[in-house]
Structure 1
Amino acid sequence: MRSVVSPSSLAWSALVVSGVLEAVWATALGRSEGFSRLAPTLVFVAALVASMAGLAFALRTLPVGTSYAVWVGIGAALTVTWSMATGGEAVSLVKVLLVLGLVGCVVGLKLLH
């Protein structure tokens, strides 16, 4: 029996991966020190192109408003979480709760779609 993946589930998968890549390029951009460091600059460019390509792919099937909000939400939540986990940003209960709220909103948008 052949399994068929729906266009919608493929689009959502691409959107989630693209959101993760947004966190990668945002972090690499910060580490590039104004594009003066080669390795983080190359990671930034590669992740940016892949992230935008995935978002563009998802937008062929999903609405732009929901897609953009989910993409940004995933990227923002992962970027701030990574920064707190690696010591680049102070951790506070309020920040953690706000990030959890952001994740809850992303999940809610997915459930409503």
Structure 2
Amino acid sequence: MTPETIKILQWVGTAIGAVTLWYKDTIAIRLGIKQGEKNLEKEALENLQKNLDIYQEMVSDIDARYKAKIVELEATFQASITKLQADIVELQGINEQLSDIIKKQTARIKYYTKKYGEEDKL
């Protein structure tokens, strides 16, 4: 091969490379390479959507569980409050009875103190 032939082949190789670069997207689509990239992107987006749907379902499930637990705790709290209020009313009644007994006992002590006098304190 002569040096001129080598130069021509180099020039032709450079031209083919330039044309290939210029039309790389068209060539890639025709060879199916670009389509594969598009399919890969589509699958990645579908997987992302599926993951988001799963996370949304999990969040909804957790939300429902916590709302049910809150309702249950509120009912338990209200039942406790009602019982405590009933206990308070009962204790107030007992307190009134004890106050009456103390008043009666105080009156008796005063009566007997007047009648018999105070006992000598040691």
Task: Bin the TM-score by the shorter chain.
Answer: under 0.3
Q: TM-score, normalised by structure 1?
A: 0.25
Higher helix share: 2
Q: TM-score, normalised by structure 2?
A: 0.23
Larger RCO, structure (CA 8 Å, separation 6 or more): 1
Which protein shows a greater Rg? 2
